[in-house]
Amino acid sequence: MLLLGFELQDVLRVAVGIALGLLTVYRRELSCNRDYHPDEYDKTSGDREHGPSLHDRGKDSAGSSPTRDDHGFSSRAMVIPRRKSSSSLLTASHHGENRRVTDVISDKNNEDPTEELLESAGFFLSGGPFLHIAIAVFHHLVLTNFMYNFSCVNSLLRGFTTNIYRFFPGTLHQENSISQLTPESIHAGNETTRQDEQHLYSVAWNAVTEYFTSISTKFDRSHGRTKRSGDSTLSMKYSRSKSTGNLQQYISDDHSRALFREMVAMKILDVTLLPSDAQIVIFSYLPPADVLAFMCTNKAGRNLLDDGYVAAAQGDDNGGACVKNGDTALLIWKSLFHRDYSWVLSDWDIGIEAFQRSMANYHCHQQRQQPSPKAGKVFRHLLSVIVDSEYSMLPFGSMMAASSSIHPTTSMKDFYFIFSETWLNYTIAGCNSTEKCFIGLHGHVFDISSFVALHPGSTETLLLQSGRDATVFFESMGHSLGARKLALGMCVVVNGQCTRWNFTGGEEMCGSFQLGAGASGPPFSTCGLIKPKCKSIDVKRNIPGFLIPRKRSLPRIQGALHHIREQLRREEELELVKAARWGNEYLGSNGLFGGVHVYYDPFRGWQWWYTDRDFNVVYIEPTR
């Protein structure tokens, strides 16, 4: 049964239900048998050894006054205690209280037990236990699965709608605005919702058709083909099978957004039917949790969004021959990475240094490792995001040529989640000097360079813990609210996932906000890394509790893929042991300030660093 998907709890419930049912049948059988064999029970009716029988007691109580036995006690005093349930009847009979069930039921002067008995019998006769079984089975087979699917889809839709409302502020009353598009809508203004929905559907359908037609027209024109009028369906069909790269240049963002708005309005979101470029644009407006939720809804969703899965399913590791869906998934996760994280590697000097460190000596990698084409492809896409970024100050144009030598992972989705877990220790690794001192607290980065010499808990304490996430140490010291407020002013990178957006700290709730990589950048979601100069953060950052907790708390964990987090944690433990052993062996306890620290470089794997006695930071690439 377990194999069929039943949970242990359900199996137990069914087993108990069956046992109860069988017991009921058995008891009913027993009761009937007593009725059919009165003599057997009547034989002992006068037996006083165990006190008066129920039968006798009934006779006594039928009289006007209670009878007395030889000792002068009233026979009422000898009444057997009330039965709590019909099951106690069996026990009583067993001990010699021999009385027929029918007698008890017909005993007019002993109404309480009779009612109880009838009540209990009614419960069993009504099929109570079987009802329990039926409910358990129904609950498992229908409700559980249904509710799970419903909640998945519901949360997904809510996510879509929320984001759409956030990014398209003018769409709060979409139905109305869309209804105004055609004369029919004016006419249908007071009609039923169903008619409205039908109308919305036709409007959306027109929008989709128009969208495809416009793409195919442009596509045909660009290939010097003349498109006959009325051939739009055909062109549409063909245009959808063209590669994403070709189509992407003809898509205007506004059009895609308008299309998606229409689709949200009609409450049908079959995104898998859209062309790849529209899918990329649409998913780039969603938080990763919603993208994952969409991925889990069905196989089509997974095919669309999991580039690692598609490649694995095809047994494909040759990059170029990757199926189209894999390319779409790769591009979707690339756009999410671009939106949420890429700026720290291209527009933040500490991140740029970290990236340069990763890229240093890449030719050594080339010699040591066989390049994987699929991983090389992922890396090329990453480079295109980081190096070609509008904020980029990197001199890495030539790196593209060497892209096949570095292969962080074969899946862009995995890279996204690995980076979201490791970016903090990766970027600030080694930043623990009095000139350049960065520390991680509750998922955010703080520049404490100007404060380190003033720290009441000594400069050395801070230097020892900086250059990495020090939340546990910070919290273990029980820093006061004043210390926490002091830290807020030094925050340089805010992790959108580790903030409490609803936290007001007793103050007025902030109004709507727009987040972005830059203050004037496009509207991004709250899920990635944000510059504190961003307007909305600026408003909220000084509210205690928003960035870091007001009092001693466990470290805030950002939402990411659990299995990736767990795997990294396990690997980190092993690396720490290896690094400590290496430190003892090669440097000795006198050669180090602090210990040998480890961090995960998303481009190159596990790396170590330590501070020598002259306060120079040394980075080590461990040999594997």
Ordered alpha helix ranges (H), 469-545: 471-476, 481-488, 535-540
Report the nearest approach of ligand HEM to the CB of residue 496 (Å): 20
CB contact at 8 A, 610 and 592: yes
x/- letters, 473..502, toward ligand HEM (CB under 6 A): xx--x-xx-xx--xx--x------------
CB contact at 8 A, 361 and 315: no
Report the nearest approach of ligand HEM to the CB of residue 355 (Å): 25
Q: Does 468 bind ligand HEM (CB under 6 A)?
A: no
CB neighbours of residue 103 within 10 Å: 17
Q: Does 457 bind ligand HEM (CB under 6 A)?
A: yes
Nearer to ligand HEM, 145 or 450 (CB): 450
Distance CA 244, CA 242 (A): 6
Nearer to ligand HEM, 25 or 477 (CB): 477
Sheet holding 605-611, edge to edge: 593-601, 605-611, 617-620
Ordered alpha helix ranges (H), 341-456: 342-346, 349-359, 362-368, 373-387, 412-428
Distance CA 618, CA 264 (A): 53
x/- letters, 409..448, toward ligand HEM (CB under 6 A): ------------------------------x------x-x
Question: Residue 85 is encoded by which pair of tokens?
Answer: 């349930």
Distance CA 251, CA 295 (A): 24
Nearer to ligand HEM, 151 or 480 (CB): 480
Distance CA 596, CA 618 (A): 10
Nearer to ligand HEM, 313 or 486 (CB): 486
Nearer to ligand HEM, 101 or 448 (CB): 448
Distance CA 426, CA 435 (A): 19
Nearer to ligand HEM, 275 or 467 (CB): 467
Nearer to ligand HEM, 474 or 603 (CB): 474
Distance CA 193, CA 188 (A): 10
Report the nearest approach of ligand HEM to the CB of residue 436 (Å): 15
Nearer to ligand HEM, 80 or 483 (CB): 483
Distance CA 412, CA 416 (A): 6
DSSP per residue, 6-58: --HHHHHHHHHHHHHHHHHHHHHHHHHHHHH-HHHHHTTTT--TTS--HHHHH
Candidate list 461, 504, 558, 584; residue touching ligand HEM; CB under 6 A: 461
Question: Residue 97 is encoded by which pair of tokens?
Answer: 């209280």
Beta strands 593-601; 438-441: pairing state: unpaired
Report the nearest approach of ligand HEM to the CB of residue 411 (Å): 35
Binding segment for ligand HEM (CB under 6 A), chosen from 146-154, 472-480, 535-543, 594-602, is 472-480
Binding segment for ligand HEM (CB under 6 A), chosen from 292-300, 386-394, 430-438, 453-461, is 453-461
Binding segment for ligand HEM (CB under 6 A), chosen from 82-90, 173-181, 213-221, 461-469, is 461-469
Candidate list 395, 456, 511, 588; residue touching ligand HEM; CB under 6 A: 456
Q: Does 472 bind ligand HEM (CB under 6 A)?
A: no
Region of 442 on the Ramachandran plot (φ > 0 left; ψ -120 to 50 alpha; else beta): left
x/- letters, 526..545, toward ligand HEM (CB under 6 A): --------------------
Question: Residue 268 is encoded by which pair of tokens?
Answer: 């049908």
Binding segment for ligand HEM (CB under 6 A), chosen from 129-137, 157-165, 362-370, 465-473, is 465-473
Give the footprint of ligand HEM on residues 193-252 (CB under 6 A). none
Nearer to ligand HEM, 56 or 469 (CB): 469
In residues, how long is the chain? 624
Q: Which residue is nearest to ligand HEM (CB)?
A: 457
Nearer to ligand HEM, 237 or 485 (CB): 485
Nearer to ligand HEM, 292 or 429 (CB): 429
Binding segment for ligand HEM (CB under 6 A), chosen from 98-106, 256-264, 451-459, 529-537, is 451-459
Report the nearest approach of ligand HEM to the CB of residue 446 (Å): 5
Residue 155 Cα distances to 299, 451, 523, angstroms: 18, 44, 22
Residue 145 Cα distances to 135, 150, 300, angstroms: 14, 8, 19
Candidate list 27, 242, 255, 455; residue touching ligand HEM; CB under 6 A: 455
| Opening angle at CA 476, ends 471 and 477, nearest 5 | 105
Nearer to ligand HEM, 140 or 444 (CB): 444
Mention every residue, 6+ apart, whose C-beta is less than 8 A from residue 339. 284, 517, 524, 525, 528
Nearer to ligand HEM, 261 or 444 (CB): 444
How many residues touch ligand HEM under the rule CB under 6 A: the total is 20
Question: Residue 122 is encoded by which pair of tokens?
Answer: 């009614």
Q: Which of 433, 403, 441 is nearest to 555 (CA)?
A: 441
Report the nearest approach of ligand HEM to the CB of residue 486 (Å): 4
Binding segment for ligand HEM (CB under 6 A), chosen from 110-118, 196-204, 354-362, 470-478, is 470-478
* Amino acid of residue 432: N
* Amino acid of residue 461: T
Binding site for ligand HEM (CB under 6 A): 439, 446, 448, 455-457, 461-462, 465, 470, 473-474, 477, 479-480, 482-483, 486-487, 490
